[in-house]
Amino acid sequence: MRHARRRIVRRVTRLTAVAGLLLGGAMVTQAAMASEPPPAAARPLASASGTGAGETGAALVARLGTARTAGDWIGADGRPVVAVTDEAAAREVRRAGAEAKVVQHSMNELKSATAALRSAPRVAGTAWAVDYRTNQVVVSADSTVSAGDWSRMSHAAARIGSFVRMERTKGTFTTRLNGAQPILSTGGRCSAGFNVTDGRSDFILTAGHCGPAGSIWFADDQAGRQLGRTVSSTFPGSDFSLVQYASGKAGDGADVVAIGGGNGVRITGLADAAVGQRVFRSGSTSGLHDGTVTALNATVNYPEGTVTGLIQTTVCAEPGDSGGPLFSDGIALGVTSGGNGDCTTGGTTFFQPVTRALSALNVKLIVSAQNAGAGAPGASPAPSASTAQGAMAPNAASPGSSAAVTGATGRTLLARLTDTRNVGPGLLVIAGSLIALVATRYIRAEQDRKAYQRHYSATWG
């Protein structure tokens, strides 16, 4: 009976080991396929038109003017949609190949409403933006806004007009100090955004609230390797800063942003975001997450001050993600400013547009060599805002072409082996299965040898 049980245990062990070999092989194959960058044709960069032939929504808005339009966005089918105030403008939009939506209030009226809100007494924990799709100005108040402040803002909104909508939101609007490789200083932890250059030195573009000019940044929490120093910082008002590399140069992989697991996305250009666009954010705390652009030119009243002209999104973020990059299909769009919620419950996150930051700082984005234009090597001038709108549905958007991240720190051998995005876990399963097979074979041989010894010992006895 005991021998029968042993045989069953050995057979089960061998079957499990064989299954482990098959599973490990499948894991290695899947990881290898996932790490292969897709061909260029599978990652179309944004075209010059939302429809491939007609004008973009932004171009139509610019041509028709803000008195006859009220913003544009990308529809579910990838076509641009333009809000217009009269049928004549609607006909022009349709002739251009875009979809028209007739609304009551022009962009001039909506901007007048936001100007009235800015002139009112500042209330920390509030934010507002124009919702192009509903033709409204949406005012959000977080959990820190008192009942008295909420009542006063509601009365101010009512005086402006019925197209100003008030809503309460969960959590608190805060900067995300405390991506994208982590960068650390005595003030806290942030995430690196994009590498930029002035033609002589290279810099990290990150959030302005991460630290004032003169802040020293390190690449590890032991302060053993100085990364650089903040040479320019703007916050509040806007939210961007430049960290000059201590070595003067960004080094290899300057055109790549990290997304975790030693992986990255190659940056090929920059543009303004578009409402309805699917976007991706990377940060050193929460890694890679995606969402949708819901508004532009948003205003947020952080406890530290007011920031205007931001991109509003449904992407989540957490403390430490500040300054991390926002991008789509390899196109740089913004750096993380702040928001509410987290990556468990979700929330709203605001981003400083890259185009405005680079223009104010007089630097250029470092992009992959094949996309670099004239001027400094690897540098790219900002294309038009329409570049961000590809001729595809928002759900078809991807982060961009994959690339390895160089110079990543803090990754132990065990972490790399157990990362499911690498071949390490599959190799571990295969190794364990082989050990199990060898062990069962060895145990079987030992048992046979001992049985042989017992048999002949009894015979000679």
Question: Contact at 8 Å (CB) between 437 and 17?
Answer: yes
Q: How far apart are CA 254 and CA 195, in angstroms?
A: 6
The CB density around residue 15, as the number of other CB atoms within 10 Å, is 10
H/E stretch holding 296: strand 287-302
Nearest to 70 by CA among 102, 107, 112, 109: 107
Question: Contact at 8 Å (CB) between 267 and 256?
Answer: yes
Q: How far apart are CA 310 and CA 361, in angstroms?
A: 17
Helices 2-35 and 424-460 cross at an angle (nearest 10°) of 160
Which residue is listed with tokens 């928002």? 394
Tell me the residue type at 87: E
- The counts of H helices and E strands in the chain are 8, 26
Question: Contact at 8 Å (CB) between 70 and 76?
Answer: no
The total number of residues written for the chain in this structure: 461
CA angle 258–264–266, rounded 5-degree value: 110
Question: Contact at 8 Å (CB) between 104 and 163?
Answer: yes
**Residues near 241 by Cβ (< 8 Å), separated by ≥ 6?**
205, 206, 207, 208, 210, 211, 213, 230, 232, 233, 234, 235, 323
Nearest to 428 by CA among 439, 441, 415, 440: 415
The residues that bridge with 260 in the sheet, in sequence order, are 263
Tokens of 18: 């064989």
Question: Contact at 8 Å (CB) between 242 and 357?
Answer: no
Nearest to 210 by CA among 197, 228, 223: 228
Torsion sign (Cα): 413, 415, 420, 421: negative
**Residues tagged active-site:** 209, 239, 322
**Residues near 336 by Cβ (< 8 Å), separated by ≥ 6?**
176, 179, 191, 193, 207, 281, 283, 317, 321, 322, 323, 324, 325, 326, 349, 351
The CB density around residue 413, as the number of other CB atoms within 10 Å, is 8
